[in-house]
Amino acid sequence: MDVDGLVALAATCLLGEGAGDAELSVSLVGEEEIADLHLRYMGEEGPTDVLSFPLDERDEEGVRILGDVVIAPAVAARNNEADPAGEVRLLLVHGILHLLGHDHEREDERAAMWAIQERYTGVRVP
């Protein structure tokens, strides 16, 4: 796993989306842990690929804390067997965009979010 590359991608995404002064937490976890989080916080059984937990608070020094992005690389690998690293990059940006308030419930929101993801990752989502 290219951790340095993921850190750089997160920084690029935050800067590009006007949140360069913000911090976030990113965790890479196993399927059992993400399944537990998925059930506990979303009420859905089974593992998922990424979860975002927005916080959007300021710490005691005034630094904006966006929240947490949790990614399950094993699930990501199954999502895109041809490019599992690309899938993790996509999920990282996807999670960050959720922390920044983007959503994909409506078709117009989805198209906009997918375009932003592709711009940062080069990974196209059908």
Q: What is the pLDDT of residues 88-117, one digit of tens each?
A: 999 999 999 999 999 998 999 999 999 999
Instruction: Identify whether 82 is part of a domain.
Output: yes
Query: What is the model's pTM?
Result: 0.94
* DSSP-assigned letters across all residues of 60-114: TT--EEEEEEEE-HHHHHHHTTT-HHHHHHHHHHHHHHHHTT---SSHHHHHHHH
pLDDT at 30: 97
User: One-letter amino acid identity for 102?
Assistant: H
Q: How many domains does the chain have?
A: 1
Tell me the β-bridge partners of 70.
27, 51
CATH code of the domain containing 26: 3.40.390.30
**pLDDT band, residue 55 (cuts 50/70/90):** very high
Task: Supply 51's token pair.
Answer: 């979860």
Instruction: Identify whether 9 is part of a domain.
Output: yes
